[in-house]
A and B are shown apart, each in its own frame.
Chain A
């Protein structure tokens, strides 16, 4: 197990050490990939976004300021870059899919390509995919990735109160849209 910190791996990466960079990628790849896939609603696009985020890591490495020297914590900075790329990606027109318009069933055609096992899961995934970008990002960070509300606020560059507000709206919308899937709780 490699005990070197992210900051140390960034320093080595900045000096051109591909092995150190590979270790950094390996450490964050799975979490980043899942997070991106959930936020953009597509595994393939999520993987593209992750590639781009790691390219930015490599380009940033030579000028990286470690946390101890007053810089950002690597994971916070990296997930901020990733989330911004994800949100940019969800806002871009999907030109390739427009060409295949005859096969498009709804406005978020690839929202369901994160394959799920059954109809209930597909409905939940679709409901998540239809949330506004920042609500979906907040829910993904806090619920699926277990990021604390404080770190999620730093990643999305908003206040802790704003994170909570995004989560409340996201979960209330989901509860309304999935009301038929839950058992009513007695008053």
Chain B
């Protein structure tokens, strides 16, 4: 055991020999007993230990075991109870009717235009048609 090594131990584990590595404890204590310099290092470590201990007042937790278990039981049982239909498994579920409406409106517009039946229709009336199919308001539809 050297002074440097014991200083390293004090810097890592503090002043209490019970926290020092077991394999080196006896040698460290022997060196401590005969070296005033090492005792000064130990005093520095003891002061830091005191500050740390003073700041480590009891932390009062609001958690209790019953609450933790109940929360986990709820969470895991809800996961197992999830319906398996695509509507509930995908995050964009609520958007499906909108997408369907837009697709239907687009298809209708394409067919009407292709058949030459839409020559007298303005963009506004197409938008109104889209509105009726999809449920969107006219301002939601970008004219194209």
Contacts and interface: CB of A to CB of B under 8 A. Distances in A.
Contacts of A143: 14, 19, 49, 52
A121 B65 CA distance: 29
Q: What's the interface size class on B, roughly?
A: 35 or more
Contacts of B69: 18, 21-22, 25, 54
Contacts of B71: 51
Interface stretch (B54-62, B105-113, B126-134, B135-143): B54-62
Interface string B29-47: 0000000000011011101
A124 B52 contact: yes
B12 A178 contact: no
Interface residues of A, number: 50
Given A25-B69, A117-B57, A149-B21, A47 B52 contact: no
Contacts of A165: 12
Nearest to A19: B69
A45 to B, nearest CB: 12
Q: Which of B19, B56, B68, B76 has the most CB of A within 10 A?
A: B68
B64 interface: yes
Given A33-B63, A59-B76, A183-B47, A121 B11 contact: no
A181 interface: yes
A185 B43 contact: yes
Nearest to B21: A149
Interface in A6-50: 18, 21-23, 25-26, 29-30, 33-34, 37-38, 43, 47, 50
A60 interface: no
B13 A149 contact: yes
Nearest to B79: A59
Interface of B: 8, 11-14, 19, 21, 40-41, 43-45, 47-49, 51-52, 54-57, 59, 61-66, 68-69, 71-73, 75-76
24 contacts: A21-B69, A23-B65, A25-B65, A29-B65, A33-B61, A34-B59, A37-B61, A43-B61, A47-B63, A50-B63, A51-B68, A58-B76, A114-B59, A115-B57, A121-B54, A124-B54, A143-B52, A164-B8, A164-B12, A167-B12, A168-B8, A171-B11, A181-B51, A185-B44
